[in-house]
Amino acid sequence: MIRLIVYLVLSLVVALGAAWLIALPGTVEIAFGTWRMSPGLGLALFIAIGVIVASILAWAIIRRLIGAPAALARSNARRKEKAGVEALSDGMIALQAGDFSRARMLARDARAKLPENPAAQLLEARAELALGDLSSAREHYRALISNERTALAALSGLYEQARTQDRSNAAITFARKALSLSPSLDWASEAVFNDLATKGAWAEALEMSASLPAKTKSQKATKKRRQGVLETALALAIEETEPDTAYEHANRALKSIPDFVPAALIAARILINRGDTRRASALLRRTWRAGFHPDAATLYAHVKPGTSAVERLKRIRTLVEAPDSHPMAAIVLARAAIDAYEWSVARNALAPFLGKKPTRQMCLLMAEIEEGQSGDQGKAREWLSRAVNAPADPIWTADGVTSEDWAPASPVTGRLDAFEWKVPVQTRTPQKTLSATTPDPATLPAIKDAATPTKTQP
């Protein structure tokens, strides 16, 4: 309603203005050669306005005619660009869908329509890489490296190609180049970091890990654990040659991962070698109570060099206050009691677990007890036969490989922090350990020996 009123008012004002102009007194003399004209002042103004409008329209028509070829060219270019963008979009969809031949065809169509767009060439390179045309893909990627906008994408493609061809050195070279251009690049950081871990370059890996950003809470937690594992790996590598430095690294690892068994064992061994048995005992006692790891208990028993088996049993008894609280507590106490020829103590320690489903190590210990206490070979063989199908005991496990000793990385994949203390589901050829697969009865005596923990000498 308001718009209508405003429109009517403006129309009235224009009409009044036009009437006022026409009614103005006076004339205008227009002479052109012999032609004379004397219109009124208002009419002359209308004629002037008409001439101006006609001139503008004429110039617009002439300009449109003159610019028609250029406008047509621009229109064709826009249609070509639109078709190129559509081809590029469809090519990306085809690449993600796994239709690599169509993706390459669309990429070439996009390159023809968008010669200045590097994304089309990148799409073609990706498609050729997926199709196995490695030489063509490599040429495209190398051409894209010179462009700042596509350098990282090209290096990523070259890295994937090198990995496909099992050229690990070339792959790491491309990853390092990408990392120099963008220090926060995830795939390059992971590739270089994994290479350092595989080579055991723990100092460089530790330095690199410290420089990597961690923004979210989960990233910070992951980085903190990775730092702890790397500190432990470095401490393990230099424990014999640089014990003081190794002890500092082990302590930093324990700050990152409290009660981390490998780091605690390294620190405790160094303290024992220094003669600081009190701090070593306190550390091992805390580590044992945190996870009931047998290595912590074994080292705790040997914290004083030269002690007898009876003295070691006494120390284990102070550590294992309730052997029925955890299966590993019973195994540790039984092992120490067997070494001290305290057969009844060993039997009583294992007794709460024998009626349920004793583990393989428990069965082997019971075979030792039967043979050592009464010399009953029949009962000993019965326990050895039960060990064949008994559940496995926890052991360091990574990628199907078991090991008595913790290692920083998997021997199969080189993955950092791969080893876990757990009951293995299945194993490959074990490293210094008994296999978690079902043993052959003929090898039971050997398994029995292997199940006996090695006395750790500080």
Cross-strand bridge partners of residue 40: 27
Rounded Cα gap, residues 137 and 132, in angstroms = 9
pTM for this predicted structure: 0.67
Residue segments in the chain with a per-residue pLDDT below the cut of 50: 427-458
Local structure of 37: helix, strand or coil: strand
Rounded Cα gap, residues 229 and 223, in angstroms = 10
Amino acid at 335: R
DSSP string, 367-430: HHHHHHHT--HHHHHHHHHHHHHSPPPPEEEETTEEESS--SB-TTT--BT--EEE--SS-SS-
**For 296-334, what is each residue's pLDDT tens digit?**
999 999 998 888 999 999 999 999 878 778 899 999 999
Task: Determine phi and psi for 442, rounding to 5 degrees.
Answer: -70, -20
Amino acid at 295: D
- C-alpha count within 13 angstroms, C-beta hemisphere, residue 299: 29
Q: Are 197 and 180 in contact (CB under 8 A)?
A: no
DSSP state of 439: P
Q: Are 161 and 153 in contact (CB under 8 A)?
A: no
CA angle 371, 288, 320 (to 5 degrees): 50
Question: Edge-to-edge strands of the sheet including 420-422?
Answer: 401-403, 395-398, 420-422
Task: Give residue 456's pLDDT.
Answer: 37
Task: Give residue 261's pLDDT.
Answer: 95
Alpha helices, DSSP H, located in 146-216: 151-164, 168-181, 186-199, 202-211
Q: From the DSSP assignment, how many helices (H) and strands (E) are in the chain? A: 20, 5
CB neighbours of 442 closer than 8 A, spacing ≥ 6?
Answer: none
